[in-house]
Chains A and B, each alone.
Chain A
Amino acid sequence: MSALPRRIIKETQRLMQEPVPGISAVPDESNARYFHVIVTGPEDSPFEGGLFKLELFLPEDYPMSAPKVRFITKIYHPNIDRLGRICLDILKDKWSPALQIRTVLLSIQALLSAPNPDDPLANDVAELWKVNEAEAIRNAKEWTRKYAMDN
């Protein structure tokens, strides 16, 4: 592995020194491009009270290409599929090298507050979210309790 780019070092420093409230991102001991992330479920969302684990990997050409991010904790959300893959434009075609790890994680937290069933990744979840939002929210709360609260 080549030397760690200064950009990644700088971002890592800042994440440690000025952590974002509700988000923790810690580089792996053996791979400084791999981050262990925990995002707290936003208040007034069905995910409130949950702690969601994610993994974030900075590819070789970061920041020219987006970080790869995935939920490890199971989550009931129309834009996140069963494998934890996230449908978020800034992780795909709307990536800009001016975005950072912290802005990406904030966007993901915002996505929890504002699910978008019209641009779904998990089709069955999105469908229910559109037809019967109350039940979908009940499911999301149930999953949060079951998978994101046990420790």
Chain B
Amino acid sequence: MGACHWKCCKDVDHNGTNANGSPSVDDPASSSSIQRIDDDPDWYLPSRKYQAKIDELILQTLKVIGKIGIENPPEVLLKLHTIADQEEGWIKVINSMVSVIPIDNPLGPAVIVFLLDDCPLPNKDTVIRLCKMFDLSKESSTKGRRTPCQQCNMCIILGLLAEKLAGPSSVAMLTQGTLEYLVANLPKVGYFAAASFMSFQQCRFNFGNKSTFLFPPSREFQCFNEHASLTDEDRIVLPRHIQMEQLRNILVQEDSCTLCFDSKAEVTLRPCGHSQARCDAYSFESVRCTFEVTSGVWYYETKIRSAGVMQIGWATKKSKFLNHEGYGIGDDEYSVAYDGCRQLIWHDAKSEDPPNEGMWHPGDILGCLLDVEARESVFYLNGRVVAVTSHLFNVNLPPGERHIQMEQLRNILVQEDSCTLCFDSKAEVTLRPCGHSGFCKKCCVMISECPMCRAKISAIEL
């Protein structure tokens, strides 16, 4: 994590000026209002006064998100988190995201995912309120006051909520109006509407509320199908004439690399023998080559097709890619990657600025060199060195060390009378009215139903 954004946040808090010189927060009065959101107990009451401040916090998040390590949320995120803790605040945060996140910022969807992940999930009433506020219908998608950018943000939010709330809440969101809204949006915001659609469809299968789900008229349905095939066809979409098996054969026969897919990223084999990877999902998908190198000097080039956030580099077999948790190359100690959008070198989920200017643009060529003997990797942009790093070779974990850690885990003692949910604290409370016990106070405040019998908890007795 770079030191820079902490500095920015502090500057805003204490001096009322922003080191980045953003015009909106240069005004001392406005930044002192940001501070007040935390202090004023009535900040969440219906009032437009805070909406602008939340807008500002969202834009700040967008600015710093590039530097965020997975484990170190910056202050601005914590503030938004506090705000979204109450229903009114949550609605406001969503509202702000819809209105201020720009469509052309490749980090926009990432901010939405990050905030929704981080904030408490809304209850059914809040979700219904949100849908009402969105005013979802066929008409609103064409005639509404909202810009295409706001429509796009709304589709992303709807899709994410449908996925997260899989259950009655998500079914409640999927009204005829929502459905028509998404379908009408397909030609405009394409993938995002389709992805949202797929999330709902998934939930409908789970909860079987068939009455709310009616397929749209045929022409639009056709259009939906074309978009939808991006996500749901066996995890990977290949052009019809190249089957997966053939692809493998070609690659193996040429004694070149094989690609390993476990994501929504789309990989195509071009006639020239190059492969092309594309990802339209808003989760961090990864593609990796499984060809192993242990010695010598290796080099490959990637032509950048869009200027978005991507991490490209080298990984060992141990590197784990978890798309929904946001882990990809550069996010653990076993890989190193370069991202020319945020202009950062990534290793072990920490970023550092490269020594040389390295913003990438569509059509640029990123070169990745691995020199096993010299123990370094070099990143080139259009032939010019951007950074030299030896990160990948500094991992000196003896092969057995992980096992030793597991062994130690096994030997941790757990007290007999500890809470059966967390095993951290003493079990000291009884739930009323059901009378079940064996839990600590800390766990009990996080649940509303008894873990044993699902009876509603009306009181916790010490």
B-binding residues in A (CB < 8 A): 1-2, 4-7, 9-10, 12-13, 16, 27-32, 34, 57, 63-64, 68, 81-83, 85, 87, 92-93, 96-98, 119-121, 123
Contacts and interface: CB of A to CB of B under 8 A. Distances in A.
Interface in B201-221: 202, 205-206, 208
Contacts of A82: 232, 234
A12 B325 CA distance: 21
Contact of B167 (A6, A81, A92, A98): A92
Interface stretch (B75-83, B178-186, B300-308, B417-425): B417-425
Given A6-B414, A27-B406, A34-B320, A121 B421 contact: no
A32 B423 CA distance: 17
Given A34-B320, A97-B451, A98-B451, A92 B423 contact: no
B449 A30 contact: no
Nearest to B436: A98
B375 interface: no
B332 A98 contact: no
B167 A96 contact: no
Contact of B446 (A57, A64, A68, A121): A64
B411 to A, nearest CB: 9
B359 interface: no
Among A4, A85, A96, A121, max chain B CB count under 10 A is at A96
Given A92-B206, A96-B449, A12 B402 contact: no
B374 interface: no
Contact of B421 (A7, A9, A123): A7
Contacts of B402: 29-30
Contacts of A34: 320, 322
Interface string B315-344: 000101010110000001010000000000
Contact of B235 (A6, A83, A97): A83
A98 B421 contact: yes
Interface residues of B, number: 38
Given A30-B318, A93-B167, A12 B409 contact: yes
B387 to A, nearest CB: 25
B447 A64 contact: yes
Contacts, number: 84
Given A4-B409, A81-B205, 19 more contacts: A6-B418, A6-B424, A7-B423, A9-B423, A29-B402, A29-B403, A30-B318, A30-B402, A34-B320, A34-B322, A85-B202, A92-B206, A93-B168, A96-B449, A98-B420, A98-B451, A98-B452, A120-B208, A121-B205
A121 B206 contact: yes
Interface of B: 71, 166-168, 202, 205-206, 208, 232, 234-235, 318, 320, 322, 324-325, 332, 334, 402-403, 406, 409-410, 412, 414, 418, 420-424, 443, 446-447, 449, 451-452, 454
Given A34-B320, A57-B322, A92-B166, A119 B452 contact: no
A81 B419 CA distance: 36
A25 to B, nearest CB: 14
A141 to B, nearest CB: 21
B409 A32 contact: yes
Contacts of B235: 83
Given A5-B424, A98-B451, A31 B320 contact: yes
Contact of B423 (A10, A87, A119): A10
Contacts of B422: 5-7, 63
